[in-house]
A and B are shown apart, each in its own frame.
Chain A
Amino acid sequence: MIYLDHAATSWPKPPAVLRAIEQYLNDYGGNPGRSGHRISIEAGRVVYEAREALAQLFNVPDPLRIVFTANATEALNLALYGLLKPGDRVVTSGIEHNAMMRPLRDLARRGVELQIVPCNAEGLLDLAALAEALRVKTRLVALNHASNVVGTISPIAQAAKLAHQAGAPLLLDTAQSAGCLPIDMPALGVDLLAFTGHKALCGPPGTGGLVLGTSFDAQELEPIMRGGTGSRSEYEEQPEMLPDKYESGTVNGMGIAGLGAAVRWLLEQGIDNVRAHEVRLTREMLGGLAQIPRLHVYGPRDAEKQTATISVSIQGLYVSDIGFQLDADYAILCRVGLHCAPAAHRTIGTFPEGTVRLALGWSNTLEQVHLVVDALQRISSI
């Protein structure tokens, strides 16, 4: 079996992740941060250490600025609904996932002004158009770091500079980049960062978070949920301190234990090494795919300019049929269709048919890449 769906979720998970989850449930699964007894403290410590690992990964000095959520979707909702008020203006791009686009469309219905800056057919953000859009007073620039459809890496450092010149903070969706691209928040100029634990970060599903960069004042962001935090229990108002302000209710302790182990594992491997491995696989795959006559590759077609996610179609075949054949005849598992990103598919010109997405990840090998290219070669020549 060849797993080519890392952009949906990474599989398998590093063994350390499974061990950490098992250990959490077996050995110290008290309620983290609620009680003062030893297994509650131990659970709290595991959660705190996961914050530390993520703070190191994103280069933020204070682990308390990592706010855990269930996934990137919840983190984006927190950032968008917590920040934007009717009358505010928000600028986003044409390569967004619905996790960004649906909250924005809803906010637009509630009186937030939404502007979508176009990307070219390879999914690359038009920086001149962004600069133009930022001539009007803007509350937030919200961008996807890497496309979940074609892997295109957005020019974030430049976009952040433009946003800051216009006085707007930058919110970055790193669902497709955290864990497989180096991300230095202060160096890139990212003020708010949404991540999901279960993709390239190699953690379990049900984990994610919003990182408040040192550059961002938490006074500006309202919580979207309120409730018990284990702190200031005598007050009936939500505490202002981080991360409690945004973390009401018991966190996903076992998931976060797994995520912490995953991030430490990644830091040991070195994100640069993970990236180098994926660039090698992507280059090999792109080279092989280019030889197949009726097959079209979307996106940058340059391993350095994209993640290990590649979208293709074959002339005369439905993407659903290609996906089915890959699974049934070759045990190659990928995702076909629109990938929750109609805006991105419109941008690359594949709406509503969609594409076959070949999403490589840490666990794939060059040998697998060759088998996939052979399979597509055969499917396209029938």
Chain B
Amino acid sequence: MILTGRSDLPLDKDEHSRFLPWLIAFMVFLSILAVAGMLVLNATASRWDVGVRGNLTVQIVPTDDAAADEARLNEVLTVLATAPEVARYDALDETRLIRLLEPWVGPSTEKGDLPLPRLIDVELKQATNFTSGDLGARLSERVKGVAIDDHRVWLDRLVRMIETFEALALVVLLFITMATVGTVVFTTRTGLAIHREAIEVLHLIGAHDEYIARQFASRALGLGIRGGLLGLVLALPTLWMLAHLAASLDERLLPDIGFGPWHWALLLAMPVSVALIAMTTAKVTVLKNLARML
């Protein structure tokens, strides 16, 4: 009875519900994009998190005394060499530093012209109980004028931005749900009005409200599934295109997020859940409406 079965009401001939699959297709299309976007953001955030969390930069603030600076650098390097959680470290020599700064301070800069900080790039071991904060604390204890940049501020800001986007996607999903429910309610009410006389006959013959509601519900489910599949068919190529576009733009910023089976299942669940929402909405609408009959 749900998908094929006979119906006592000629709901499949209703003109007014013809547009419903298209609308649902659009809703499913949007919801798939929103969810896919959310998944990408989520994956990106956790990658950045992992990638950045194991990295820190130690900066030795320069003084007028170059020899003392050199001594402090060596002391920091000794600490790093003996720290158990450090996987790798690399002190940037001054020529490289000058080259890095060229775009900002100009090409003429000579060694010694400017007091330059010494930078050491540190990478922590993956599985370690120590955080970058622990190492920073130990370094500052041993050596004066050492600044630790563990990218925390930058990372936190990024994570907050991603969370904002995710919330936005959730709002989009909420609106999609509301729009679907509203449209189905409207379509169902129109159907109830069109078939009022036939419904009255069914009612007088002794049909339960459920019996009548089921006919509207299975019609809405049918339209919902049709629209959902259409939306899916439109959304998948779009996703593929966007993924390629993003990859060609900046491979490092948006690492290839391989969608796992769970991600695909979630995307496929979109048309199914929209169809189920349509079915339930139709059913509830009819039951509410019939409750007014004697």
A binds B: no
